Amino acid sequence: MLLERTIPIISPSHKAFPIEVPKQLLSADGQLKDLRGRQLHDLRISVTDRCNFRCTYCMPKEVFGKNYSYLPQASVLSFEEIVRLSRLFVAHGVEKLRLTGGEPLLRKDLERLIAMLSELKTFAGKSLDLTLTTNGTLLAKKAQSLKNAGLARLTISLDALEDAVFKKINDVDHSVQEVLQGISTAQTAGFKDIKVNMVVQRGINDQEILPMARYFKARGIIVRFIEFMDVGNSNGWKMDSVVPSREVLQRINSEMPLLNLQPNYPGEVAQRWAYADGQGEIGVISSVTQAFCNSCSRARLSTEGQLYLCLFAHTGFDLRALLRKGASDAQLQTVIAQLWSQRRDNYSESRSTIKGANHRKIEMSYIGG
């Protein structure tokens, strides 16, 4: 049974800080760092604020109902605007682009955007790590075209294998089989690197930890178990609902022994654990119990072109306004450098000291997870 909760009514509009373009323009050297020495490495791009799920921890029906006002098309960044901004972020050192939503596969002609982004190269001239997060329900129809367009990797959000539990979470009666078929189709299409993300909530789906680990271990797919986070204001977050990653690891290790692995790259969010029998690995993301602010290398671009420097931010910076007022690449590049170089965000480290309505965080469906 889902926990009772109070849902605040929120406005669909999102305030952003206006940006002044510095008179002295800066060049990019691929090594942009913030005030804590964190290098810009990842850019998450939300391509739509719409989703075909109503997950209770992300877009609950109480808020995102039939009368909810989504962004008008004119407010949404065009593919050309997304590519232009992405190119400037890449010049500053971004090597990984992740397309998110909402549900990104709802964005019309998304394959065209992927093809455009796949032509970008890192500052060192290498191919970008171009990936996408999806709930998987449209993947059976889209997998081959996504692969043909140049998408390198996929992450599937799946919170349970038991159909009744899964349907209660997505709250729109989508079945697990739709997602599993999408994953299978993606493998057939040639995707080698597929990960599954499971948001774990105590009393909701924590009984699915072992079934998820067993199922995907047998299929060579990495599952990442994510602590239920206090993103946004509409998910009824309570600390009592968090299953600490150490508990997740204990449950899995009791049946399938685990060995710690080193990160794939500096700033990797997931802690990696290998199965001791050599048959694959899992990951845990512990943003509540083990804050990783000190190594966070992610920036986020919202559907309407606002730059957020933290997943738990309450206000963004309006890059779209600069784009549409005719700012040059040099001006935009300078603004990005200025914003990141002044960044000091560390919400996960300081959440216990931040209370009340003064910190109204942006919703996950708007900024992407």
Domains delineated in the chain? 29-367 (3.20.20.70)
At 148-169, the pLDDT tens digits run 999 999 999 999 999 999 999 9
Write out the two tokens for 313. Answer: 């931010």
Please, where are the H alpha helices in 61-130? 79-91, 110-117
Mean of the per-residue pLDDT values of the chain: 88
197: which strand partners?
157, 224
Give the residue carrying structure tokens 């992450």.
155
- Per-residue pLDDT for 65 more than 70? yes
Task: Kindly report the pTM of this predicted structure.
Answer: 0.89
Round to the nearest angstrom and report the end-to-end CA distance of the chain. Answer: 25
At 192-225, the pLDDT tens digits run 999 999 999 999 999 999 999 999 999 999 999 9
The beta strands (E) that lie in 251-353 are given as: 258-260, 271-275, 281-285, 298-301, 306-308, 316-318
Write the DSSP symbol of residue 172. S
At 232-264, the pLDDT tens digits run 555 556 888 999 999 999 999 999 999 999 988
121: which strand partners?
127
132: helix, coil or strand? strand
Is cis: bond before 102, omega within 30 of 0? yes
